[in-house]
């Protein structure tokens, strides 16, 4: 028990360097911004393609397959949105 107490008190006094080296942050922000907007564009394109395939496949009775595809695209959008929110919160 004393070991745990000692470790907890040591963790409270430790500080981690969370700042980026000088000159790195602006470039990193630019790259993350580009990646974020490219991912948003791919998600939008995926939704449009899945919707178009649902419209075309409706006559052939393939609605369920395309609805599942749309579900996967929307799940990817949620993951990308959560990742960008997490990265923005950590900045």
Angle (CA) 38-67-52 rounded to 5° is 60
Q: Where are the domains of the chain?
A: 28-90
Measured in whole angstroms, how far is the alpha carbon of residue 5 from the centre of its chain?
37
**pLDDT 10s digit of each residue in the chain, 91 long?**
666 766 667 666 666 666 777 888 888 889 988 998 999 999 999 999 888 888 887 777 766 777 788 888 999 999 998 998 888 887 7
Task: Report how far residue 32's alpha carbon sits from residue 18's, in angstroms, rounded to the nearest whole number.
Answer: 18
CA distance 11 to 16: 10
């Amino acid at each position: 028990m004393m070991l745990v107490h000692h470790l907890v008190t040591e963790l409270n006094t430790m500080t981690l360097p969370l700042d980026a080296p000088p000159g790195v942050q602006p470039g990193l922000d630019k790259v993350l911004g580009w990646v974020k907007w490219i991912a948003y564009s791919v998600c939008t394109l995926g939704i449009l393609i899945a919707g178009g395939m649902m419209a075309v496949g409706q006559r052939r009775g393939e609605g369920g397959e395309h609805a599942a595809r749309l579900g996967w695209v929307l799940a990817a959008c949620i993951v990308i949105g959560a990742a960008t929110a997490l990265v923005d919160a950590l900045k």
